[in-house]
Amino acid sequence: MASDDPSDRMLLGRVGGGDATALEELYRRYSKPVGAFLYRMSWDRELAEDCLQEAFLRVWRSARNFRGESKVATWIFQIAKNHWLNVREKQSRHAGKLEVAGAARAEALEAPTEPPQAIESKELGAKVRAAIDDLDESHRMVFVLAHYEGMRYREIGEVLGVPVGTVKSRMAASERKLRNALAHYLDAEVVR
């Protein structure tokens, strides 16, 4: 993630004053990375979009509370992460277990109408998504924020509210679990 843009702080200050145009600009800047994060946490485009909209509604409502102790982008990701955790908890309470990656897993079972390389690529993609989904929530968040969103460990620690050492250990454990889960497909050696 890029360094904190001073205009982000100015925009957020304007949002705190009720400027909807400033919120639209923050949304333009951050909706793609935050939306991608939420999608990779849920593997459900509709749910990710709902969470994204709610996260930016919360940015609108909370802009006055921004203390400037983190980058604006980090603060927005914190809001999205917290909302995601609330949604996940609510769903797991009501449904017993959140079904994620169902569409991605079913996609690999469709009748082959594509060249073998494309089918293999889709199957591997589904296996990777399923392996990421099998990580526990705290490890999956670290992995997604680092590998897909390009955040540094310090930024991830700020988003998750944990020390950098915890981020590093969760990342190492995530990578080890993923290597083991995908060893067959990657011709890699299983790591214990």
* For residue 2, pLDDT beyond 90: no
Query: 5: phi > 0 → left, psi -120 to 50 → alpha, else beta; which?
Result: beta
pTM metric for this prediction: 0.74
pLDDT at 80 over 80: yes
| Mean pLDDT value of segment 3-24 | 88
Helix-, strand-, coil-residue percentages of the chain, each rounded to 5 = 75, 0, 25
pLDDT at residue 21, as a whole number: 94
Average confidence (pLDDT) over 29-54: 95
Per the listing, tokens 């993630």 go with 1
For the chain, domains (ranges, CATH) are: 1-100 (1.10.1740.10)
Distance CA 82, CA 158 (A): 12
Reported as a single tens digit per residue, the pLDDT across 91-124 is 877 665 444 444 444 444 444 455 555 555 677 7
Q: 148 or 125: whose pLDDT is higher?
A: 148
Complete DSSP assignment for 136-174:
-HHHHHHHIIIIIT---HHHHHHHHT--HHHHHHHHHHH
pLDDT of residue 110: 46
Token pair for 108: 């690999």
